[in-house]
């Protein structure tokens, strides 16, 4: 296999959660462009059609599955559908996530639990369901955040805690499933990339962080998707249990 072939996902099947918007769309499109058929999972199925069109435009097959990742049974149904349609699951992109910006003294138990339910529990239930059927050489990529490593001026205790927990989850699953199942498990910690979450920031917020941007711009989702393809592909065949930071240098300042 030559070097560029190592980045191919030809003949693979990828599941992307949170595929209806934002970075999930970029991840699904990138998997398809790298050669994978893609199972698109989200609670909002009305938006999955547009993502499916991007997958088919890349010459790959797309299947949309309504999935609430906070429900273990729905995660299992998602994987069952993938197996029924394609007969295999090679890549899981644990992208579904939500966030809040609520001061800690005012955050309700329901608000805190809702974020942890999606970001942490949802990642675990999806990984658990995929781990039952994945063959050696498969790859799970959890989407964390630099806010699991640093702070950025907003009160985001639930989001930061859930994303920090993804690092521990990634390490443990990598240890459990590496030698026994041959499944690699890694995480990406994105910095600031345009998404629905960044669209909700108050005017001037990103500008206030500009001194921390070593590369003075927001990231392009395609740059993050390229990191995903690397981790999902044989090119990262000796990488597991790692959290790869893609943030333009924010966490080094």
> Which residues are designated catalytic?
159
Distance CA 110, CA 121 (A): 15
Nearest 5°: CA angle at 216, between 207 and 186?
100
> Considering only CA atoms, which of 131, 51, 48, 49 is closest in space to residue 92?
131
Q: How far apart (Å, rounded) are the C-alpha atoms in residues 200 and 25?
A: 18
Non-local CB neighbours of 241 within 8 Å, separated by 6+ positions: 170, 171, 174, 175, 178, 185, 186
In 3D, which of 99, 131, 92, 145 has the Cα closest to residue 118?
A: 99
- Mark residue 193 as left, alpha or beta (left: phi above 0; alpha: psi -120 to 50; beta: remaining): beta
DSSP assigned state of 144: -
Dihedral angle over CA of 195, 200, 205, 211, nearest 10: -10
């Amino acid at each position: 296999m030559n070097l560029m072939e190592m980045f191919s996902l030809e003949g693979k099947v990828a599941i992307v959660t949170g595929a209806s918007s934002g970075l999930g769309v970029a991840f699904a499109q990138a998997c398809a462009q790298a050669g994978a058929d893609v199972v698109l999972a989200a609670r909002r199925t009305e938006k999955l059609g547009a993502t499916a069109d991007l997958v088919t435009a890349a010459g790959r097959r797309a299947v949309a599955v309504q999935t609430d990742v906070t429900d273990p049974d729905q995660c299992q149904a998602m994987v069952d559908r993938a197996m029924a349609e394609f007969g295999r699951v090679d890549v899981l992109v644990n992208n579904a996530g939500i966030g809040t910006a609520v001061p800690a003294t005012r955050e309700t138990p329901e608000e805190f639990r809702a974020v942890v339910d999606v970001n942490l529990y949802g990642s675990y239930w999806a990984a658990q369901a995929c781990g039952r059927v994945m063959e050696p050489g498969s790859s799970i990529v959890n989407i964390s955040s630099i806010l699991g490593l640093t702070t950025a001026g907003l009160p985001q205790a639930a989001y930061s805690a859930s994303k920090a927990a993804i690092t521990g989850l990634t390490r443990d699953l990598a240890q459990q499933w590496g030698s026994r199942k041959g499944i690699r498990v890694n995480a990406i910690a994105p910095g600031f990339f345009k998404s629905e979450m960044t669209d909700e920031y108050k005017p001037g917020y990103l500008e206030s962080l500009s001194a921390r941007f070593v590369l003075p711009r927001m990231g392009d989702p395609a740059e993050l998707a390229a990191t995903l393809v690397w981790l999902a592909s044989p090119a990262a065949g000796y990488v597991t249990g790692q959290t790869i930071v893609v943030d333009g240098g924010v966490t080094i300042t």
